[in-house]
Amino acid sequence: DAWPAQRIEGHAARNQRICCIPSQESARHQWEQYEAARAPASSTTDVALPPTHSSSFYGWSLRCLAAIPLFDANGEVLAVVKLINRQSPADKQGCWEFTRLDLTALSAFSALFACVVPSPFL
């Protein structure tokens, strides 16, 4: 299987559902440890993290992450989209986690993707 079981994207692909940091599940699987090493060397993020979600590498901090599996029409996972450090659109401030509304919209996007992949030129 191409999806690493210990990483958040592997868990999202294998279980075919959206996974998030922070969450009780992320604490149990310790997904943050795998994200810190892959963080970009520069970022404009300067929001302080709560102690339970502290993860930084070269000044970049992980506040929240959502991993969304994208399926084909047969239900096979083609890719996993990872969205990192949500910002509020109104005031451009960092948010500590993705909202239920965000996750509902991302789930709808994933469903639409499955409909479009077989016939991208409709």
- pLDDT by residue for the chain (122 residues), tens only, comes to 688 888 899 999 999 999 998 888 888 888 887 775 444 444 444 444 443 444 444 456 778 889 999 988 888 898 999 998 887 777 666 677 888 999 999 999 998 888 887 765 55
What values do phi and psi take at 33, rounded to 5? -60, -30
Q: Which residue in 9, 8, 13, 4 sits closest to 23, CA to CA?
A: 8
Strand partners, 57: 60
Whether the predicted model's global pTM rises above the 0.75 cut: no
